[in-house]
Structure 1
């Protein structure tokens, strides 16, 4: 069973593209880097809009960006002051 996704507003697409720049510059995977770069390139075309499948992947990658902060797993520079 396929889940129906709701259509994206132009504002949401701009927000997703903004965050895809970060994903492309600091990818969590080779796929994320490649996909983000491809979408950013396509988005420069006049009257471009993502397909339903592209939109779903964009939403997933941006969601993962915020659920897995950049630098996760690396030692933090924070020091606890007692």
Structure 2
């Protein structure tokens, strides 16, 4: 994996409270809460596998929310 193209842990953690609330099953909820707890430790960094799962969970939250699905989300400004 090329780490230059991956979102930083800080970027993922910004969305993490939403991920915790949106977790649909027991495993996902447990993983999300575990990450939230671990992230409070000084100098904590997720393993590559955790980072990949975190990215997937954040992506799923925003994909499922439906925010900004189309061009109708914003009115066009015409002169």
The structural deviation recorded for 1:59 is: 0.5
Secondary structure, counterpart of 1:44 in structure 2: coil
Equivalent residue, structure 2, for 1:56: 52
1:41 aligned to which of 37, 41, 45? 37
1:8-59: CA deviation from partner (whole Å, max 9, x where unpaired):
79x7211211212111123222222111100010011111101000000000
**What TM-score, normalized by structure 2, do the two folds share?**
0.69
- TM normalised by structure 1 equals 0.67
Q: Which has the higher contact order (CA 8 A, sep 6+)?
A: 2
- Structure 1 match to 2:12: 16
Structure 2 unaligned segments of length 5 or more: list them: 67-79
Matched, 1:65 2:28: no
Structure 1: state its 5+ residue gaps: 71-82
Separation of aligned partners in 2, 1:66 and 1:12: 17
Taking structure 1 as reference, are residues 8 and 29 closer, same or farther at Cα in structure 2, changes over 3 Å only? farther
Q: May I ask how many residue pairs the two structures share in their alignment?
A: 65
